[in-house]
Chains A and B, each alone.
Chain A
Amino acid sequence: MKGDVVLEATDLTRHYHVDRGTFRSPAVLKALDGATFTLAKGRTLAVVGESGCGKSTLARLVTMIEKPTSGMLNIGGTDITSADKQTLMALHKTVQIVFQDPYGSLNPRQKIGHALEEPLLVNTPMGKKERREAAMNIINLVGLRPEHYDRYPHMFSGGQRQRIAVARALMLNPNIVVLDEPVSALDVSIQAQILNLIALLQEQFDLAYLFISHDLSVVKHIADEVMVMYLGKPIESGCRDTLFAKPHHPYTRALLSATPVADPFRVKERIVLRGELPSPIAPPSGCTFHPRCPSMTDICRDKAPETQEIDGCRVACYHPKVYPPKE
């Protein structure tokens, strides 16, 4: 049913140990530090952030390529942190992924028909004829033609390859599709085509989308809920309309201000952040955003803020912007 929760994550954390040589103990890279969110059928959760914010790590955890260091991840009712290998194998069919780079995400030596059939070959007992039929159906569904079946990836344009990538993600009838910057590498006019395709497919199959992007204009168009991340932590999350109309966290406001708007007549509040994105290996103390924050005070340096609820959004900040309630 539409609206059913298909994924629940609580305090999801992923640490990596980075070798620093024979004489020093390994450093801890907190790639993801306490993400909490849910995905529901037919809805899109957008994850927004810049380099080092942990969105790729999140994608790897949700697609079960890696196991979380701590926290709970519940997919389709099964807690994957305590599931056995058999269950995990079966769960692969529920979550699929579309990558950013249309040129690297397809095996150059594999005809696309074969690439589409492979998920079925590996996971189901379907016969050759049935697999080919299924592949042909999907090819049609994403707007390609049957004669494309026998072609190699290098014969297609970027937009077409993304269609193939989307087709491949759909082969196992997943409930959840992780879209990792699916249109960032495409031209603007092709972006629109692929966004349309993604929207139509969501409606048709009631898919839950985890849409990772750094492009706020695309996020505003496609998301239902938005989660903004910085250095592995979600710093603000809430429903799209509220977040864009009333951004509370200084980083969210800076992001919105920094995103170029295709309207020369609009005057924007200009917030230009100081400094560089810190490295996740040596994050700043307390609130990790404090060195760049225009509203920083002493407490920000000392202790990381708890998440509070404001206007229906969850914000982790000591000095969020408060919007007066409308009369």
Chain B
Amino acid sequence: MSLLEIANLSVAFQTAGGLFTAVDRFSLQIEPGEIVSIVGESGSGKSVAMLALMGLLPWTATVTADVLRFDGQDLKTINKPQLRKIIGSQMSMIFQEPMTSLNPCFTVGFQLTETLKIHLGMNRTEQKRRAIELLELVGIPEPEKRLSAFPHQLSGGMNQRVMIAIAISCNPRLLIADEPTTALDVTIQAQILDLLMKLQKEKGMSLVLITHDMGVVAETAERVFVQYAGQQVEQQSVMGLFARPHHPYTQALLNSLPERSNSRILPSIAGIVPGQFDKPRGCLFSPRCHYATDLCRTKPPTPATADFGYALCHYPLLEGVPTNYPEEVRA
């Protein structure tokens, strides 16, 4: 049985300009101990989908899903107290900005033991002991001293380690990491990713890594989900995605990476991600797609089969060439 099953999750926001669909039919299954990555640029809805799963969205958001199941429990019909038992202890999340994700007014020790008190009901001594254990686990030197430190007294890398310590304090089965290293320096980024991978292996946690950095995806993930403008455009194993992308967006994205090009001029993707007011009628990627035809511009595509990575495309790519492509256009 999958640890987490999401089918057709959609999130819409009430805004001054009308209803805005931030996430459009997002699906994900993750097995225990698996590492999965959700990749996308800004406006892709990758963070919103996971925040919706954790119930962290503001009241203006409407969340709908066909299936939303964690460890066999249906999250759609569960009651609030039971949900609170799961969020934060069984299913945990860490965020991008370590400096602002921790409360600046309270010490690290206080924030760490708060989780232990609420979810595990430990007493003072037990809390302190476990807190020191956790700080050691995440590689913070002199953990007893750090318990009384405030977030602004620690560096970004340290703060992120503290966040990770808080997140794993109750031994969660699923950890969602939302761009955990984007705000950190490169060498610190390597340390944090290393730490996440080590913890994942030791504790048998499943890890959902949300990022926009294809390098991080290549080095850490086993399976990848690609998001574009709120829609899921491709799902594949990481090897397959980089070698044989099935969706034109994935292909264009990989081609535009500086490290994969040989010439001074990069094959960039013209245009920008559609916003709230300029969503195209057909495929959302059609205004920027190399291979777009009239069909693409008028009719929204449906997901392809598993062989094609469930690519949301009328002509999913096979070995870099669109399948079923009309001859006249190819000329």
Contact = CB atoms under 8 A, between A and B. Distances in A.
Consider the complex of A and B and state whether they touch directly, i.e. have CB atoms less than 8 Å apart.
yes
A263 interface: yes
B186 A255 contact: yes
Contacts of B41: 187-189
B191 A50 contact: no
Interface string A183-223: 00001111111011001100000000000001011101110
A50 B187 CA distance: 8
B268 A258 contact: no
B190 A257 contact: yes
A26 interface: no
The SS class assigned to the A binding surface is helix
A243 B229 CA distance: 39
A255 B187 contact: yes
Contacts of B239: 264-265
Interface string A223-264: 000000000000000000000000000000011011111111
Nearest to B256: A192
Contact of A187 (B193, B212, B216, B254): B212
B266 A220 contact: no
Interface in A262-321: 262-265, 268, 272-273, 276-277
Interface string B245-288: 00000001110111111001111111011000000000000000
A262 B215 contact: yes
Contacts of A189: 41, 252-253, 256, 268-269
Contacts of A265: 239, 242-243
A157 interface: yes
A261 B259 contact: yes
B199 to A, nearest CB: 15
Nearest to A261: B215
A110 interface: no
Chain B interface extent, by class? 35 or more
Contact of A196 (B194, B257, B265, B273): B265
Contact of B258 (A218, A263, A264): A218
B219 to A, nearest CB: 5
Given A188-B256, A189-B252, A276-B158, A262 B214 contact: yes
Interface residues of A, number: 38
Given A192-B268, A199-B264, A276-B157, A214 B185 contact: yes
B8 interface: no
B185 A277 contact: yes
A159 interface: yes
Given A196-B265, A196-B266, A217-B215, A222 B186 contact: no
B272 A190 contact: yes
B20 to A, nearest CB: 17
A258 B193 CA distance: 10
Interface string B147-182: 000000001011000000000000000000000000
A51 interface: yes
Contact of B257 (A190, A200, A217): A217
Interface centre among B186, B216, B265, B269 (most CB of A within 10 A): B186
Nearest to A274: B191
B213 A260 contact: yes
A272 B256 CA distance: 28
B101 to A, nearest CB: 18
Nearest to B185: A50
Interface centre among A190, A264, A268, A276 (most CB of B within 10 A): A264
28 contacts: A50-B186, A51-B185, A187-B212, A187-B273, A188-B253, A188-B256, A189-B41, A189-B256, A193-B269, A195-B266, A221-B258, A221-B259, A258-B186, A258-B190, A259-B186, A260-B215, A260-B216, A261-B215, A262-B218, A262-B242, A262-B260, A263-B242, A263-B259, A264-B238, A265-B242, A272-B190, A273-B190, A277-B187
Interface of A: 50-51, 157, 159, 187-193, 195-196, 199-200, 214, 216-218, 220-222, 254-255, 257-265, 268, 272-273, 276-277
Given A157-B272, A262-B217, A276-B155, 17 more contacts: A187-B42, A189-B41, A189-B268, A192-B267, A196-B266, A216-B186, A217-B258, A221-B258, A258-B190, A263-B259, A263-B260, A264-B239, A272-B194, A273-B187, A277-B185, A277-B187, A277-B188
